[in-house]
Amino acid sequence: MPLLHLSMRAGKPEAYRQAIFDGLYRALRETFNVPDDDQFMLITEHEAANFRYGAHYLNVARSDDLVFIQITANNTRTVEQKKALYQRIVALLGDRPGLRPEDVFVNIVEVAKENWSMGMGMAQYA
């Protein structure tokens, strides 16, 4: 059950944001074997003064369209699955809503299965 937190500059239309959600969910389904309806995602929008990034860190030319994607997930995926996820996210978000690969920043935070409660006060994966 991945939990996704996205941060981006304010001002994009709803269709743009929904396309990001759709692409991320599809990428997770295809590479991380995420089950149907396992969609837990948030977008936080920031004004320019509250959104800062290294425009050329590691020789990647980022723009103000940069989207930070932080994925919290169980520590059960292989390095190959993670690499496949990164590549699929870039491909899908490039198609729709048209994000450049340089503007897709992904971070995975891995946790043990017992660190989730998805409601009812239960540790569903423990």
**pLDDT computed for residue 125 by the predictor:** 87
Residue 12 inside a domain? The answer is: yes
Residue 55 inside a domain? The answer is: yes
Domain count, the chain: 1
Residue 54 inside a domain? The answer is: yes
**pLDDT computed for residue 7 by the predictor:** 98
Residue 123 inside a domain? The answer is: no
Q: Which domain holds residue 79?
A: 3-115
Residue 38 inside a domain? The answer is: yes
Three-state SS at 81: helix
**pLDDT computed for residue 38 by the predictor:** 95
Residue 122 inside a domain? The answer is: no
| pLDDT tens track, the chain, 126 positions | 899 999 999 999 999 999 999 999 999 999 999 999 999 999 999 999 999 999 999 999 999 999 999 999 999 999 999 999 999 999 999 999 999 999 999 999 999 989 999 999 999 888
Three-state SS at 40: coil
**pLDDT computed for residue 15 by the predictor:** 98
Residue 64 inside a domain? The answer is: yes
Catalytic (active-site) positions: 2
The domain that holds 21 is classified in CATH as 3.30.429.10
**pLDDT computed for residue 126 by the predictor:** 87
Q: Encoding tokens for residue 119?
A: 């409601």
Q: Which of 118, 44, 30 is nearest to 74 (CA)?
A: 118
**pLDDT computed for residue 20 by the predictor:** 98
pTM of the predicted protein model: 0.95
Residue 59 inside a domain? The answer is: yes
Q: Judge residue 39's burial from the number of C-beta atoms within 10 Å of its C-beta, 0-12 exposed, 13-18 middle, 19 or more buried.
A: middle
